[in-house]
Chains A and B, each alone.
Chain A
Amino acid sequence: MSLNADFLWMIVSFVLTICVFSYLFGDNPLFRFATGLLIGVSAGYFAVVIIYQVLLPKLIVPLLQGSFIALIPLLLSGLLLTKLSPKLSRLGNLPVTYLVAVGAAIAIGGSLLGTLFTQIKGAINTFASVPAASPNQKWILVLEGGFILLGTIAALVYFNFSVIKTKGINSNRSPMVRLFSGIGQFFIAITLGAVFAGVMTSTITALIERSAFIVNVIKTFLGIG
C-alpha cells in the first residue's frame, strides 16, 4: 500500500463518511464537523469558481480588452451591492427588477412552450396513434390514453378549491367536482408513492455506494481486497 494522494483522499473520504453515518445515533460533533466542513468547502469552492469562471472571463478580461459593454454588468453588479446598505438599498432595486423581470419572462415562456403545450400535445398523441395501431393495440392505446387523460383532468380538478358562495346554502363543491377530485386524489397518491419509492431507491443506492466504499477502504486497510 503506497501513500499517495488517492490514498489520502480515500482516508479523508472514509473519515468524513463515518462522521456523517454517526448521525444514525443522533446529532453529534462528528456529524456537525462533517456538515460544517462540507458547507465551508463548498462555499470556498463556489467563490473560486465564480472568480475564475465568471468574473475573470466575462467581466475583467473584456474590460481589459476594451469592451465597454462590460460596464453594464459592472454597473448593475455595483448597484446590486448597494442592497447591503439600508440607505442605498433603493439603488439596488434596478438590477433586482431587471433580474426578476427577465427571469420571470423566461420562466413563463419556457413553461408555456416547453411544458404546457408539449404536454397537451403528448396527451393528444396518445389517441392520435390509435388509428395506425393494430386492432388489439387500439383498445390498449385508448385505455392508456384515456387513463392518462382522466388522471390529468382529475388531478387538476382536485386542486380546484374555490366554490360559488350561495347565501343561505352551505357552500360546497358540486358532486361532479367532488367525484373528479376524489379520482385526482387517487392519482396524486400514486404519484407521490412513486416519488417516495424513487427517493427510497436513491437513498438505498447511496447507502450501498457508501457501504461498498467503506468495505473497500477496510479491505484496503486490511489488505484483503
Chain B
Amino acid sequence: MAEITCPICGRSNDANAERCWYCQAVLPHDTPPASDDSQDWLDELRSEKPSTGKSKPQPDKSVPQKPPEAEVPGWLARIRLREQVERKGKSVDSGTSSSSTAPESVIPDWLSEINNEPKDKPGVSAPPKSSGGSPKSGQSQKEEPDDWVKKLESWRSDTNESGNPFQEEIPEELPAEPDLPKSKKPTDLSSAESSSDEDSEANWFTTFMQESADDQPLKKNSAPQQRSPRGSGKAETGSLAKKPSATTGSESTGEKPVATSVPEEENWLTSFKGIKPDQSLSEQVIPPAQKDSKTKAPFKTTKLTDWIQPKKSTSSSNEIPPKDEANIKLEPAILPDWLEELSPKPKEVVHPRKEEPPLDAEESGPLAGIEGTLQGEELSYLYTRPQTYSSSLTVTESQENRLQVLKNIADQARWEDEGLAQKSVSRAWILRLVVILLMFAAVLIPVIAVKIPAITPSLYPNEVIQTFNAVNALPVNKPVLIAADFDGSLYGELNWSLSPLLAHLMAKNIPLAFLSTNSVGAALFTQSLAPLVSRYSAYTSPTQLVDLGYLAGGSIGLQSLARNPAATLPLNSSLQPAWQTQPLSSIHELSDFGALIVVTENADTARYWIEQVKPALGSTPMLVVISAQSAPLLQPYFDSGQINGYLSGLNSAAAYETLTKDPQNANALLSTFQVTMLLAVLLVLVGGVVSLTLYRPVVEEKRGKSA
C-alpha cells in the first residue's frame, strides 16, 4: 500500500491523505510512493528521517552500522506489516462492501505471513514463555544482541500465562498489548481516551516526538526502542484507534483492530478476529472497567541497558528529576522552527519601573551631608484647606414678597436717591426749616406777645377725677410712697403733670417717701419738689419727706419691695436707717402706706409696678403720673381697676389744677399747648393730604422707566 511520510513528524500516512494524520501537516504528494514491502517503507522512512527535522539527534557514528533488516526488531516490523495489512483489508472491505461479512475462517495471507514471520526472521527468536521460563528463549536471548527483548519478556510473562490459542503463534513482542500495563489494556483504552488522560492523550504529540527521537538510536544502533510503557502503548494503540482510513470510513464499521473488546488474556490479533462488525463498536471495545491489582510496571528501570538509560531520561522528561539532579542545569531544548512558531510565546511581564526617589542629602542639622536619611513628616500634609460653606440662603416666595414690600418702603423713605439727591436734600431742608419756624412761632407767640385764651374743657377725664378723689381720701397720718422712675428726657412734661399732685399732697400735709428704680429719678424728683418745698416749708423736715434712694434690681427689686420694704430699702439716701423714725416707723408693709404714686414716662415701668407691687398694696390706692405718650397703654389697667387713677400730660395737669383750684404752669401754658397742638395737627393733615396726592410708588416709577 502506498504511503507517504509526513515531512514534519516523519510518520507514515496514507498516500491519499492530504494532511498528516498525526500532526495535520500538509503532505507532499510528489513523494514517491513507498513500496508495498514493509521493509521498504521502513527503509524509506529511515532515509527520510534525517531531513524531517533539524532537531533530530544525529546518529552516533561511533556505533557500527548494521543492515536495516537487522536493525529493525522483528516485532516492530510485524506491527508495521500488520498495519499495512489492516489498511489493505480496510480498503478492500470498503471497496467490496463485504468486509463486514468476511468469514472468520478466512485468514489472509498477511496474517499467515505474520504468523510465520517470527520463524523466518533470524534476528527474532520465538517469544519466550513467561510462565514456563523456557530455556530456549533464555539461551537465545543471551546469544542475541537484543537484550531488551529479555527485559520485555520478564514483565510480559505474567500476562501471557493463561492459555491462548494464538499465543504460541504470535510473537510476544508483536502486539502492543504487552507494552501496556494491564490497567491500560485496550479494554479500557476507550475509556482512557474518553476521559482524556493527561499523560497520554493530551501529550500524544509529545510522545510521538519522543518516539521520533528514540527512533534514531533504534536505527543507528540497531537497538530496540525503549518506550514508556504507558506512553508508547497508548500512543501506539491510540494511533491505531484514531487513525482514520483515508479511503473508507472504517471507524463506522468498527474494524479498528485495537478497538476489539476481548478478554485481557486474549491477544490483540485474536480480538481483531473476534470483532463482530454487526455489533456496536462501543459495546465491543469498551468493556467494564477492571482494575488489576497485579499490574506491574512494564519496565524495571534497574535492569535497563546502558543505551536505554539516557534515552529514558530524555523520554521521561515529564518526570520529576531526583533531588540530587535537580540542580543540574538542563540545556534548553532545541525545537524546530515550525514548532517554535507554533508554541505560545511567554508573555513578557512588564514590571513598572519604580522610580526611586533621589537621595537628598541633609542640608542642616546633625545629619548634614548624609544621604538617605528618613525624612520627617512634612507640615504641608498636616494642614488642610479650611472647608468653605455656602453662604447662599434659600428664600421662599413669601419671604421675597415681604422683602419687596420692605424694599418699597425703604425706597420711599430714601432721601438720597440718585439724581434727586441734591434736590431732595434741599427740599427736605426747606421743609424742615419751615416746620421749625412754624412750631417755634406757635410756641413763642402766645408766650411772648399775644395772650391767647385757653379753651378749658368742661368735662374732666375720669382718671383725673379718680386721682383727685383718691388723694382727697388719703389719711393725713399715713405717708405716701412715690416712685420716681423717670429720666430727664421728659422731665418737663412729667414735672408739669406731677406738680399739681404734689401740691395737693403737700397742701394736705401728707408725709412723702420717695424712691426710684432709675438712678436719676430721685434727683429729678428732688428738683421737682424744690419749688413746692419753698411753698410748703413743713417738707423741709425729714419727718415729712424721706428719700429712700435707688431701688436696684428692676422687677426683682419691686418684688422684694412688695414683700418686705424695710429689708429692701433699709437706709435712706443719707445712709441712715429710714424705717425706725417718722414717718416710716409705722410702716411694715406697702399696704400701710396711704397711697402709691408711680411717676414714669414708660408704660412698661408702670406695668412692672402694677404687676409686682399692686397685689401687695391691697386696698391702698395706686396712682400713676405718666407721660402722654404712654397713657393709651395704661388705660386698660385703669379700666380694669388695677390703678385708681392717673395723670398724663399737660391736659391732665391743667384739669387737676382746675380741680384743686390751684392754677400753676399747666394752665398758664395750656393756650400755648393748644395752639401748638393745633398747628401740629394741621401740619400732619396737610402733609398727609399732600403725600396722598403726590404719592407715586417707587415701583411704579421703575416700571415706567423700564417701559
Contacts and interface: CB of A to CB of B under 8 A. Distances in A.
Contacts of B649: 198, 201-202, 205
A211 B440 contact: yes
Given A122-B636, A215-B447, A53 B673 contact: no
Given A106-B556, A111-B611, A50 B496 contact: no
Given A103-B554, A204-B680, A50 B519 contact: yes
Q: Which among A102, A106, A115, A208 has the highest number of chain B CB atoms within 10 Å?
A: A208
Contacts of B608: 110
B655 interface: no
A71 interface: no
A45 B520 contact: yes
Contact of B492 (A54, A122, A205): A205
B453 interface: no
A114 B611 CA distance: 4
Interface in B651-676: 651, 669, 672-673, 676
Contact of B673 (A54, A57, A208, A210): A208
Interface in A186-225: 191, 194-195, 198-202, 204-213, 215
Contacts of A42: 519-520
Interface in B172-198: none
A195 B684 CA distance: 15
A45 B519 contact: yes
B615 A113 contact: yes
Contacts of B335: none
B573 interface: yes
B677 interface: yes
Please report whether the interface of chain A is mostly helix, strand, loop or mixed according to DSSP.
helix
A24 B431 CA distance: 12
A119 interface: yes
Please report whether the interface of chain B is mostly helix, strand, loop or mixed according to DSSP.
helix
Nearest to A213: B492
A130 B614 CA distance: 27
B519 A202 contact: no
B544 interface: no
B636 A206 contact: no
A106 B672 CA distance: 44
A28 interface: no
Interface string B482-495: 00000011101101
A46 interface: yes
Contacts of B669: 208-209, 212
B647 to A, nearest CB: 13
Interface string A95-106: 000010011001
Contacts of B673: 204-205, 208
B556 A211 contact: no
Interface string A145-167: 00000000000000000000000
A45 to B, nearest CB: 6
A115 B443 contact: no
Interface residues of B, number: 62
A89 interface: no
Contacts of B639: 122
Contacts of B519: 42, 45-46, 49-50
Given A110-B555, A115-B607, A209 B571 contact: no
Contacts of B559: 106, 110
Q: Which among A52, A103, A202 has the highest number of chain B CB atoms within 10 Å?
A: A202
B630 A115 contact: no
Contacts of B358: none
A204 B629 contact: no
Contacts of A99: 556
Contacts of A50: 519, 550, 552
Interface residues of A, number: 47
Nearest to A171: B398
B454 to A, nearest CB: 12
A56 B571 CA distance: 10
A204 B676 contact: yes
A121 interface: yes
A195 B629 contact: yes
Contacts of A213: 492
A118 interface: yes
Contact of A56 (B443, B575, B612, B651): B575
A41 to B, nearest CB: 9
A137 interface: no
A27 to B, nearest CB: 13
Contacts of A208: 443, 492, 650, 669, 672-673, 676
B444 A215 contact: yes
B631 interface: yes
B676 A199 contact: no
Contacts of B627: 198, 202
B235 interface: no
B439 A195 contact: no
A107 interface: yes
A201 B651 CA distance: 9
Nearest to B649: A201
A107 B640 CA distance: 20
B575 A205 contact: no
B628 A202 contact: yes
B633 A121 contact: no
Q: Which among B443, B496, B554 has the highest number of chain A CB atoms within 10 Å?
A: B443
A103 B629 CA distance: 27
A102 to B, nearest CB: 6
Contacts of A195: 629, 632-633
B630 A198 contact: yes
Q: 3 closest A-B pairs (Cβ-Cβ)?
A: A114-B611, A122-B640, A209-B492
19 contacts: A24-B436, A49-B522, A49-B549, A49-B550, A54-B550, A61-B571, A119-B640, A122-B639, A198-B631, A200-B680, A202-B601, A205-B492, A205-B628, A206-B489, A207-B439, A207-B443, A207-B676, A209-B669, A215-B448
Given A110-B559, A205-B628, 6 more contacts: A52-B573, A118-B642, A207-B676, A208-B443, A208-B492, A209-B669
Interface of A: 24, 38, 42, 45-46, 49-50, 52-54, 56-57, 61, 99, 102-103, 106-107, 110-111, 113-115, 118-119, 121-122, 125, 191, 194-195, 198-202, 204-213, 215
Interface of B: 432, 436, 439-440, 443-444, 447-448, 488-490, 492-493, 495-496, 519-520, 522-523, 549-550, 552, 554-556, 559, 570-571, 573, 575, 601, 607-608, 610-612, 614-615, 627-633, 636-637, 639-642, 648-651, 669, 672-673, 676-677, 680, 684
